[in-house]
A and B are shown apart, each in its own frame.
Chain A
């Protein structure tokens, strides 16, 4: 990924490392944060912040040979958590969730797009429940990898995924989306 600069000078290794990481992981991170935060702009901000932090901590990461993907996910997770906490957004988030709680009756109509409905149901879950499901299904991560990102034990992740799946299944069943 190292491109020669127009003036022929050696490129800054830090910049090229950043570019490399962005090409590889930006889409994945955006996908992940967008689902967790349920907010496209916020996801973009969080990912940008993640890469700024990546750039600032690059030497440490290289020196300690930290796995880049895991580090990025974990930083994005932390930034997302910060975002949710910041400026009492948590309250607003609940507020918004209440607003968007899927209307069960409306959804029984045949024409609705099943995928959109599932996403709506996903967004009713708690952020951390949503997060583990996204990491598991979308990013195909093992329980261990998820545990590292959340900085929790594997057992905790297992329980969380279990509750989340149960909640989701139940709410989909109630809505009649699945049998």
Chain B
């Protein structure tokens, strides 16, 4: 009965602890009566446990603390560490630190009773000088003020927020001059803001990418772009980054990374990268799209027409696969052909940028040309399609052209930018006759949606009113500066329209930080234990509403201090900071410090990665060009 014995031996402890049920106990008893070895084992265990029980009862217990002691909890002095001979050298340093700690800890800390127990932070008075550390224990994740705030009590009993440096009676270390002016003025660069007093920084999630084209255009003409037109956030967001995809069921993913700041060694950079759920192109056949674009005055001069279409097209390029082709024809009569259908994204982007106002529209020739071109470059089993973007009603020759080409089975869709009812209905009928769709465009998202669906992808609105709120931990960050996003700030009344976010949207933001380098940090740590969040550098709170819902959702992500990585930055942050530095140089920013083109080139070259679209390479060429122009 050997197996039985092993089985029962496993149960001895449970038996002794009376954790067996009745049947098990009976079976156990019967077995033990029969089996001598098992009985011995039971007895020895029973004896051991009884002895231990006795010993535990007699063992000394430490002295109990009083309530006062709890509140005046001192820094736990390092204990066993002294016994280790290897650490004795470090011990000397620690002694000095510890004596400092004692000085701080012996300052009587008396608890300030909370008036409203639910909201008021734990406040601890520090010494007789009226300093108060107003500590907010980590609250619910979605609430602002995740970190401790530090106040000083004025003689009248008011709490004044102060810098930690002042609180600890130390003069702050010298930092570069700081400009707080113009915080909310458009086109004035964001300045550094102190974390104390401005713990939250907010910006909206919709970003344009037009500025990059402007720089490109100017530099190709060998002139320096106007610094006022340069928007660093638009430059940074012109590129694709390799952010993690949102997890299953999640709408967004947030990537956070910190590194050193190439143009100011005393500062740090933090990258925030947010990605929304991707457009689904999985089953779409290869596309061959030919755009027939009306570049007349009425289209060009209205920012909601041609400029909007250009933005949507640029955005669409990011979604284009290598098998897709795109061509452009305009209504201008001398040279209607702008771009023959091609898969080369660089050529496409140049063509989009060069779209200029044409002469009076004569609808027939470009449409004929479009059909001929598409017939020539037709992709078998692909999505061959003409897309007409206009704000005018079709003319009669227009209709005849369609009838002529009906047999070729090339659908023609209409992107309708018009506003009059008559034109809309005419264009609608026209699109119907041309076997295509009629899509009204009045908004960037409409345009994106339209283009994605024309490409055979599935496009959906992910969120509305998406804003990003960043909170810095004053223990580590003294001041911060949001690079770019000058017109994006949400004012105190929260009135900024944050716009709607579609699928596959990414946003990148960079913060330049002045680290706090606090003295006595270890003391604060030991004095306040888990009342203060110590291990986080900052946290990002993404707020959004789902379409047609009033509920605000939150997604919070934070970065730990130990994740600051100065030596091996990822390609994402390396490239972003190169672009940002380039922006600072082109803008001739007052925050450019030691920025130079060499930094930009090294970082950009190292961060080139796979560069499937060739855009990063293009950027490097652009930087070289800028360097030449500057000289």
Contact = CB atoms under 8 A, between A and B. Distances in A.
A62 to B, nearest CB: 10
Nearest to A144: B19
Interface string A47-60: 11101110110010
Interface in B14-71: 14, 16-17, 19, 44-45, 47-49, 51-65, 67, 69-71
Contacts of B56: 31, 35, 119, 134, 137-138
B10 to A, nearest CB: 7
B17 A136 contact: yes
A158 interface: yes
Q: Which residue, B54, B59, B81, has most C-beta atoms of chain A within 10 A?
A: B59
Interface string B520-563: 00000000011100000000000000000000000000000000
A122 B59 CA distance: 12
Contacts of B45: 165-166, 169
Contact of A22 (B47, B70, B83): B70
Given A136-B17, A179-B47, A115 B70 contact: no
B101 to A, nearest CB: 14
A31 B44 CA distance: 26
Interface stretch (B72-80, B175-183, B210-218, B401-409): B72-80
B4 interface: no
B118 interface: yes
A133 B63 contact: no
Contact of B51 (A15, A51, A96, A178): A178
Contacts of A122: 52, 55
B59 A34 contact: yes
B122 interface: yes
B240 interface: no
- At the interface, is chain B mostly helix, strand, loop or mixed? helix
Interface string B70-96: 110100111111011000000000000
Q: Which residue, A93, A118, A142, A161, has most C-beta atoms of chain B within 10 A?
A: A118
B62 A34 contact: yes
Nearest to A91: B84
Q: Which residue, A26, A95, A96, A142, has most C-beta atoms of chain B within 10 A?
A: A26
A125 to B, nearest CB: 11
B48 A165 contact: yes
A168 B73 contact: no
Interface in A89-148: 89, 92-93, 95-96, 114-116, 118-119, 122, 133-134, 136-138, 142-143
A162 B17 CA distance: 10
A133 B17 CA distance: 11
A51 B12 contact: no
A172 B47 CA distance: 10
Contact of B81 (A92, A136, A142): A92
Contact of B62 (A30, A89, A166): A30
B185 interface: no
B25 to A, nearest CB: 15
B65 A115 contact: no
A42 B79 contact: yes
A168 B70 contact: no
Interface in B286-309: none
Contacts of A151: none
A27 B61 contact: yes
A177 interface: yes
| Range of interface residues on A (Cβ < 8 Å) | 35 or more
Interface in A6-38: 12-15, 18-19, 22, 26-27, 30-31, 34-35
B137 interface: yes
B137 A119 contact: no
Contacts of A153: none
Contact of B64 (A26, A45, A52): A26
Contact of B79 (A39, A49, A114, A119): A39
Contacts of A40: 60, 62
Given A49-B529, A89-B80, A115 B58 contact: yes
Contacts of B117: 13-14, 59
A52 B58 contact: no
B63 A35 contact: no
A137 B44 contact: no
A178 B44 contact: yes
B113 interface: yes
B61 A31 contact: yes
Nearest to A39: B79
A49 B10 contact: no
B529 A173 contact: no
Contact of A34 (B61, B77, B83): B61
Contacts of A39: 79-80
B67 A165 contact: no
B530 A53 contact: yes
A47 B47 CA distance: 31
A93 B46 CA distance: 29
A119 B61 contact: no
B61 A59 contact: no
Contacts of A162: 10, 12-14
Contacts of B55: 114-116, 118-119, 122
Contacts of B114: 14
A15 B111 CA distance: 11
Contacts of B57: 138
A169 B47 CA distance: 8
Given A40-B60, A119-B55, A169-B48, A87 B81 contact: yes
Nearest to A32: B61
B505 to A, nearest CB: 37
Interface of B: 10, 12-14, 16-17, 19, 44-45, 47-49, 51-65, 67, 69-71, 73, 76-81, 83-84, 113-114, 117-118, 122, 137, 529-531
Interface of A: 12-15, 18-19, 22, 26-27, 30-31, 34-35, 39-45, 47-49, 51-53, 55-56, 59, 87, 89, 92-93, 95-96, 114-116, 118-119, 122, 133-134, 136-138, 142-143, 158, 161-162, 165-166, 168-169, 172-173, 177-179
28 contacts: A14-B117, A15-B67, A22-B67, A26-B65, A34-B59, A34-B61, A39-B79, A42-B76, A42-B79, A43-B62, A47-B62, A48-B65, A52-B71, A52-B531, A93-B80, A115-B58, A115-B59, A119-B59, A136-B17, A137-B53, A137-B56, A138-B56, A165-B45, A166-B13, A166-B45, A172-B51, A178-B47, A179-B44
Nearest 6 pairs of A and B residues by beta carbon:
A118-B55, A115-B55, A162-B13, A169-B48, A40-B62, A45-B76
